[in-house]
Chains A and B, each alone.
Chain A
Amino acid sequence: MNPVPDIDRILPEVILTLTGVAVMLIDASLKPATPRRNLGWIAAIGTTLALWASLWQLSLPEGTGFFGTVETSVFTVFFHVLICGIVIVALLVALDTLPAGTHHQGEFYALVVFGAVGMCLLTSAVELLVVFIALEISSISTYILAGYRKHTGKGPEAAIKYFLLGSFATAFLLYGIAMVYGATGTTQIYEIAQRVPGADNQALAIAALAMLLVGILFKVSAAPFHVWTPDVYEGAPSPVVVLLSTAPKAAAFALLLRVVYEAFPSLRGFSTPLLWVVAVLSMTVGNLAALRQQNVKRMLAYSSIAHAGYLLAAFAGVGSIGIAAASFYAAAYAAMNVGIFAVVTLVSGYDESLPLIDDFRGLIYRSPLLGSLLLFFLVSLVGIPFTGGFFGKFYSFIAAVDGGAIALAIIGLLNSGVAAGYYLRLALVAAQKPAADQSDRPDQSGPPRADVGVAVGAALLLAVAATLVLGIVPGSVLRSAQLGAHTLEAPIATDSTTLGQ
């Protein structure tokens, strides 16, 4: 019945794991003084191979492997490609921005790749215990990465905060899984979908779903589970934030889609209003808090909370349009967010000597290239047409309006007006002519590294291209998101008909 070898179902994860192990082993076998930079290239190449492997998985018949615990479908491939793409860009940024003397540089690359293993597995797991394991793999790697600047006070603070709150949220998730088992007698997602409607104890099922949602919403940093985000983004090194703010979130959103649409479709009456409230809270809290920030990374952290809210608006959409909109938004958000954090990394530097909005004054005069790129990504974050940011938001709100949540769309779009305020503040400060008296400033706001290296240049180029493609010719990505949405919906549809019979 299942002619596809199980190993093919997790080929990308296998490749990533091997890459990570190889990087670690080589790192261990090198002399301490040897530069470790080339390990980053190995990691990037391995991730690229994993990306190809996930694309190759499209040629497999859709189905599950390892006793129904992992799935390959258009949906999983969509998120695999997205996550691998983000990881590649993050590695390229790190290659040029990690100072040569960084401690444990080899481990850095290995951890990024191991994190990718967890995130990829998270999107293809259809068994909640595998989900849990995948989540832990990805979380532990990111906890360590968040604290990579050990010598600063903020690094360990970020890591500990992330770890404690993250573990707390994971505990919720695990508790939810236990309750799911209690309510339905299974932890396999397809089976949950079948059994929940007939479960004796609906209250237990609802409680289980609520627990799962708490755990996942923490990972996507949606309000009111967002408090860790600004501190972690501020404390973690910028190249890590490139990864942290996008890839784990994309994976968590994939899981959220699975849980809401595939495992508990019969409880939409409970989850939709809940997510409505979370979406409104995230947008509003994120945007209002971002208005008051002086630190660029903190501002972008709050903005990412707001973006989680826009994405959650898509969950008001009924059926495949909601799933497709959320998937597309995850891609669009990732494209522009990796871009802007890459620019911030280049401007502020690894040690972040220039972290404040005012430090960006006159950036476009000091470095036209970085200035223009910053403006471009900010324009996309504002949601101006012909950029990925606009189309993602637009599609998300189409889903919301289609699902009847016009109020949500109006709140969301008014929020994007507020958001324009702080994005524009940064953009306009960067575009402003530097004051004349600042012209002889050797110490302060000295020219940022004008030398945009090959690796980080390629990363920026990828981010710009992705943002533009998603904004101008989103057709093909949209179609894969829609196909993915159907694969998420299809088993449910057939199952419910058989149940009806």
Chain B
Amino acid sequence: MMQTIDPIILTLILLAPLAGAILVALAPDRARLPNWIALLTTLASFVLTLHLPAHFVAGESGFQFEINRQWINDPAIFYHVGVDGLSLWLVVLVGLLAPVGVLTSWNAIKERRKIFYSLFLVQQTAMFGVFISLDLMLYYGFWELSLVPMAILIAMYGRKDGPKAALKFFLFTFIPSAPLLVAILWLYARTGTFDFVDLQYQLAHQVFPAGALSWVALAFLFAFAVKVPVFPLHGWIADTFSEAPVAMAMVVAGKLGLYSMLRFHIGLFPAQARAFAPLLVALAVIGVLYGACLALVQRDFWRLMAFAAVSHLSLIVLAIYGLTFTGWSGGVYQILSHGVVDGALFLLLGALEVRYATSTIASYGGLAAKLPRAATYFVIASLTMIGLPLLSGFVGEFTILSSTFVGVSRGWAIAAAVGVILGAGYMLWLVQRLFYGPENPQTASRPAIDLRFGELAMLTPLVVLMLVMGVAPSMWTNTIQTGVHPPQPLEQARAIERRPAPAAVSASLTVEGQR
């Protein structure tokens, strides 16, 4: 019975939030009606995404649940979507964070709820679209679309100077996508296709002018690196995190750029990626240390989270451009773990901000006695972020550091490990300043309301997930590995037969072979 929706499940996932957005826009703006519609929509789309891992045939490389229909005849653009081991759990992660985002905004967004939730849901569609698109134009479409709701919502709900932060965010991410589009058009002019699988095959088996191709690869990389962000392209992230509605910052952070690097940069241009890898490894390690150092000195917890994100995301960049299979699967795992932890931390910090109307760390203190539940959850999430063994953060960080140590360079691995230690520093210090120590008069005067049911209902699964992901990572890593590391004999057989199995990075098998 459920099998029958396999062929259209990805379309449903894509359209569910959009339908919700239209519904929110049309429904009357009465009390919390938009909130409820958004919550139900996001829960429904989360359930839909769970269909994917439930029916995913593990151990089989290539895309599943594929849909490939012509969208526009000339130029040949296809509605081509599908998931493989690489994107499968990322889609689920997007689905999971959506209801968390709605609940985070539940009390924080008081005005113009209709516009907020419509745009939030449009953002969901764009995110799903990026992860499942296998046609470069379609992918580019969702990639650009994802900027719009974010920019508008930052402007609408910015804490201090929304429009300025929104403009910064938009231009930082929009301008690099101009070269990306030219690069895509160039590929189309050369190959006559936007299809990822076709392009991967043609790029691997045909001779292109090497100079032009490395420019094209650079255009791809540049757009993705800004989005992650990789040091020194991180100028937008601090303002964005401190101005954006919490829910938006939570769903946007990191994932899109990192996934795109694996899928479209390394996946399409393995040779060029290898040429750039040393530079990116260096930038990533700098990013890890730089982000951590800046996080240590922030006075505002959103800015602290922004630089913490720079540090953590750079670690994943290190894993990706280490160009080892262990690093890749560790990196993808870390994206998932980081998404869950960030979700929990943003929810908690958002809850604190709603209660005390400030994001200045110095205004807090000694909350643990008054908000015991919030304190407990916050400590668990922080420990996961730090990478305490048996929690999900450890698995990813350990895999990344060890694969860097073995496969890339001991020096870089040690440097990155220092960054991870600094990470423990700023997180624990944040916990201490927020929840322990003497009570701060600024917050003591306000009523102490511990986490409500709705918040607990979202946080508890996230925390359980952190534990399960820490204890039994193989539930996830098995499928991730089929995405980044397809079985080789099968792979070669297919390549001879017709075209290579379209796994994200299969074309780059040679990378490790030559290493």
Residues of A whose CB lies within 8 Å of any CB of B are 364-365, 368, 372, 375, 379, 382, 384-386, 390, 394-395, 397-398, 401-402, 406, 409-410, 413-414, 416-417, 420-421, 424-425, 427-429, 431-433, 474-475, 478-479, 482
Interface-forming stretch among B32-40, B147-155, B479-487? B147-155
How near does chain B come to A279, taking the closest CB pair, in angstroms?
15
| Chain B residues with CB under 8 A of A420 | 170-171, 174-175
Known: A413-B178, A478-B72. A390 touches B156 (CB 8 A): no
B162 touches A479 (CB 8 A): no
Residue of A365, A395, A420, A424 with most partner-chain B CB within 10 A: A424
A410 touches B182 (CB 8 A): yes
| Chain B residues with CB under 8 A of A475 | 71-73
Q: What are 24 A-B pairs at a CB distance below 8 A?
A: A364-B115, A364-B156, A365-B111, A384-B144, A386-B141, A394-B137, A398-B75, A398-B185, A398-B188, A401-B182, A413-B182, A414-B175, A417-B175, A420-B170, A420-B175, A424-B167, A427-B155, A428-B155, A428-B167, A431-B166, A432-B158, A478-B72, A478-B74, A479-B73
Bound complex: CA of A390 vs CA of B166, how far in Å?
A: 21
How near does chain A come to B391, taking the closest CB pair, in angstroms?
39
B299 within 8 A of A: no
Residue of A375, A398, A428, A475 with most partner-chain B CB within 10 A: A428
Bound complex: CA of A478 vs CA of B155, how far in Å?
A: 35
| Chain B residues with CB under 8 A of A432 | 155-156, 158, 162-163
A409: which of B144, B152, B182 is its contact (CB, 8 Å)? B182
How near does chain B come to A171, taking the closest CB pair, in angstroms?
39
Considering only CB atoms, which chain B residue lies closest to A371 in the complex?
Answer: B115
| Chain B residues with CB under 8 A of A384 | 144-145, 147-148
How near does chain A come to B274, taking the closest CB pair, in angstroms?
25
Bound complex: CA of A398 vs CA of B190, how far in Å?
A: 12
Known: A427-B155, A428-B162. A409 touches B185 (CB 8 A): yes
Considering only CB atoms, which chain A residue lies closest to B73 in the complex?
Answer: A475
How near does chain A come to B325, taking the closest CB pair, in angstroms?
34
A474 touches B185 (CB 8 A): no
Bound complex: CA of A474 vs CA of B112, how far in Å?
A: 32
How near does chain A come to B233, taking the closest CB pair, in angstroms?
15
Bound complex: CA of A479 vs CA of B174, how far in Å?
A: 30
A431 touches B156 (CB 8 A): yes
Contact with A along B74-88 (1 / 0, CB 8 A): 110000000000000
B174 touches A417 (CB 8 A): yes
| Chain B residues with CB under 8 A of A433 | 111, 156-157, 162
How near does chain A come to B405, taking the closest CB pair, in angstroms?
40
B181 within 8 A of A: yes
Residue of B74, B158, B178 with most partner-chain A CB within 10 A: B178
Considering only CB atoms, which chain A residue lies closest to B156 in the complex?
Answer: A431
Considering only CB atoms, which chain A residue lies closest to B175 in the complex?
Answer: A417
B189 within 8 A of A: yes
Bound complex: CA of A386 vs CA of B140, how far in Å?
A: 10
Bound complex: CA of A420 vs CA of B170, how far in Å?
A: 8
How near does chain B come to A33, taking the closest CB pair, in angstroms?
42
Considering only CB atoms, which chain A residue lies closest to B178 in the complex?
Answer: A413
| Chain B residues with CB under 8 A of A427 | 151-152, 155
Bound complex: CA of A377 vs CA of B55, how far in Å?
A: 41
B75 touches A413 (CB 8 A): no
How near does chain B come to A185, taking the closest CB pair, in angstroms?
39
Contact with A along B213-224 (1 / 0, CB 8 A): 000000000000
Bound complex: CA of A395 vs CA of B188, how far in Å?
A: 12
| Chain A residues with CB under 8 A of B157 | 433
Question: 6 smallest A-B Cβ distances: which pairs?
Answer: A385-B141, A413-B178, A428-B163, A417-B175, A428-B155, A431-B155
Known: A401-B182, A414-B175. A372 touches B145 (CB 8 A): no
B290 within 8 A of A: no
Bound complex: CA of A136 vs CA of B443, how far in Å?
A: 74
In addition to A368-B114, A427-B155, A479-B73, 11 A-B residue pairs with Cβ atoms within 8 Å of each other are A384-B148, A394-B137, A401-B189, A409-B182, A410-B182, A420-B170, A428-B155, A431-B152, A431-B156, A431-B163, A431-B166
Bound complex: CA of A266 vs CA of B346, how far in Å?
A: 64
B142 within 8 A of A: yes
Residues of B whose CB lies within 8 Å of any CB of A are 71-75, 111-112, 114-115, 137, 140-142, 144-145, 147-148, 151-152, 155-158, 162-163, 166-167, 170-171, 174-175, 178-179, 181-182, 185-186, 188-189
B162 touches A414 (CB 8 A): no
Considering only CB atoms, which chain B residue lies closest to A383 in the complex?
Answer: B144
| Chain A residues with CB under 8 A of B178 | 410, 413-414, 416-417
B148: which of A379, A395, A478, A482 is its contact (CB, 8 Å)? A379
Known: A385-B142, A398-B188. A365 touches B112 (CB 8 A): yes
A424 touches B72 (CB 8 A): no
Bound complex: CA of A283 vs CA of B185, how far in Å?
A: 20
| Chain B residues with CB under 8 A of A364 | 112, 115, 156
| Chain A residues with CB under 8 A of B182 | 397, 401, 406, 409-410, 413
| Chain B residues with CB under 8 A of A429 | 163
B111 touches A395 (CB 8 A): no
A385: which of B112, B115, B144, B189 is its contact (CB, 8 Å)? B144
B166 touches A424 (CB 8 A): yes
Bound complex: CA of A402 vs CA of B152, how far in Å?
A: 35
| Chain B residues with CB under 8 A of A379 | 148
B162 touches A394 (CB 8 A): no
| Chain B residues with CB under 8 A of A406 | 182, 186
Bound complex: CA of A417 vs CA of B172, how far in Å?
A: 9
A401 touches B185 (CB 8 A): yes
B185: which of A365, A390, A397, A425 is its contact (CB, 8 Å)? A397
Bound complex: CA of A397 vs CA of B144, how far in Å?
A: 17
Known: A406-B186, A478-B72. A428 touches B151 (CB 8 A): yes
Considering only CB atoms, which chain B residue lies closest to A415 in the complex?
Answer: B178
Bound complex: CA of A386 vs CA of B174, how far in Å?
A: 16
B171 touches A417 (CB 8 A): yes
Known: A390-B144, A401-B186. A372 touches B181 (CB 8 A): no
B155 touches A413 (CB 8 A): no
How near does chain B come to A323, taking the closest CB pair, in angstroms?
13
Bound complex: CA of A364 vs CA of B166, how far in Å?
A: 16
| Chain A residues with CB under 8 A of B171 | 417, 420-421, 424
A424 touches B162 (CB 8 A): no
Known: A432-B163, A474-B72. A424 touches B185 (CB 8 A): no
How near does chain B come to A483, taking the closest CB pair, in angstroms?
11
Known: A414-B175, A428-B155. A395 touches B185 (CB 8 A): no
| Chain B residues with CB under 8 A of A416 | 178
| Chain B residues with CB under 8 A of A424 | 151, 166-167, 170-171
Bound complex: CA of A433 vs CA of B145, how far in Å?
A: 23
A368 touches B142 (CB 8 A): no
| Chain B residues with CB under 8 A of A394 | 137, 181, 185
How near does chain B come to A424, taking the closest CB pair, in angstroms?
5
Residue of B74, B167, B179, B181 with most partner-chain A CB within 10 A: B181
| Chain B residues with CB under 8 A of A409 | 182, 185
Known: A390-B144, A417-B178, A475-B73. A368 touches B115 (CB 8 A): yes
How near does chain B come to A206, taking the closest CB pair, in angstroms?
30
Bound complex: CA of A410 vs CA of B175, how far in Å?
A: 11
Considering only CB atoms, which chain A residue lies closest to B165 in the complex?
Answer: A428
How near does chain A come to B161, taking the closest CB pair, in angstroms?
9
Considering only CB atoms, which chain A residue lies closest to B139 in the complex?
Answer: A385
| Chain A residues with CB under 8 A of B144 | 384-385, 390
How near does chain A come to B361, taking the closest CB pair, in angstroms?
25
B115: which of A372, A382, A390, A401 is its contact (CB, 8 Å)? A372
Bound complex: CA of A473 vs CA of B141, how far in Å?
A: 13
Bound complex: CA of A28 vs CA of B15, how far in Å?
A: 55
B156 touches A413 (CB 8 A): no
Bound complex: CA of A413 vs CA of B137, how far in Å?
A: 15
Bound complex: CA of A429 vs CA of B156, how far in Å?
A: 9
How near does chain A come to B184, taking the closest CB pair, in angstroms?
10
| Chain A residues with CB under 8 A of B158 | 432
